Amino acid sequence: DLNFAIIDDAVDMPNVRSLVFKENEGSYLVGILAAMASKSKKVGFVGGMDIPLIRKFECGYVGGAKSAGATNVIQNMTGDTPAAWNDPAKGGEIAKTQIDQGADVVYAAAGGTGVGVLQAAADAGKLGIGVDSNQNGLQPGHVLTSMVKHVDVAVYNAFMDAKNGKFTFGPEHLGLAEDGVGYAMDDNNKSLVTPEMQKAVEQAKADIISGKVKVHDYTSDNACPY
């Protein structure tokens, strides 16, 4: 007698709406911004728990960064247990190691661990990239952008559809075209993103929505071609 909505997974049941996001598309966009902002053309990625969902973020980011001229994307996961989501100290250590290897922009897709990544990047005078929500304000002037997932909108819509008798079941794949993912711009990062960068990322967004550019989904084959 109940309707359910599940986030970040698909359950094939007649009373479940599965809200699945195209994190690879949003990550592709922030990868472009990372490569264009990078002076060394080396950028970093710090993931949380090593699971296919986080590899999906990583692969999209690598694709976007390399499309915009990055020569190297240094990639590390924090761990293989749920503790990897909430270890800011370890996140900071990994970010410092990547910065020592030449990365000057580091993207964190690691839950609470990412707070340490953004802190380490700011402390080193480099740039971080936030995830899920707009984290630009955590280290103002040192967070290039954030890859936002509009989980709030998807959940709100699920409740409203149920309230209005319009609840539908099955998978909802929410990407750029559906405004399910995107990148954050506000007063905290507007000085970091040049008009040229904004133009390039908006063009890429349009090309992904139109189908001209296809961003690989790691979870489709557990591989990343970039």
Q: What is the pLDDT along the chain (226 residues), one digit of tens a residue?
A: 899 999 999 999 999 999 999 999 999 999 999 999 999 999 999 999 999 999 999 999 999 999 999 999 999 999 999 999 999 999 999 999 999 999 999 999 999 999 999 999 999 999 999 999 999 999 999 999 999 999 999 999 999 999 999 999 999 999 999 999 999 999 999 999 999 999 999 999 999 999 999 999 999 999 999 9
Q: What is the pLDDT of residue 1?
A: 85
Distance CA 178, CA 209 (A): 9
Are the C-beta atoms of 6 and 16 separated by less than 8 Å? yes
Instruction: Say what the pTM is.
Output: 0.96
Residues 6+ apart with CB under 8 A from 184: 130, 134, 135, 136, 145, 146, 147, 148
Residues 6+ apart with CB under 8 A from 58: 27, 45, 47, 75, 109, 218, 224
H helices of 68-150, where? 88-100, 113-123
Distance CA 48, CA 82 (A): 8
Distance CA 79, CA 122 (A): 23
Q: Is 68 helix (H, G, I), strand (E, B) or coil?
A: coil
Q: What is the pLDDT of residue 40?
A: 98
The residue behind tokens 């970039």 is 226
Q: Is 156 helix (H, G, I), strand (E, B) or coil?
A: helix
Q: Is 130 helix (H, G, I), strand (E, B) or coil?
A: strand
* b/e per residue 79-95 (b: at least 16 CB within 10 A): beeeebbbbbebbbbbb
Distance CA 150, CA 147 (A): 10
Distance CA 62, CA 74 (A): 9
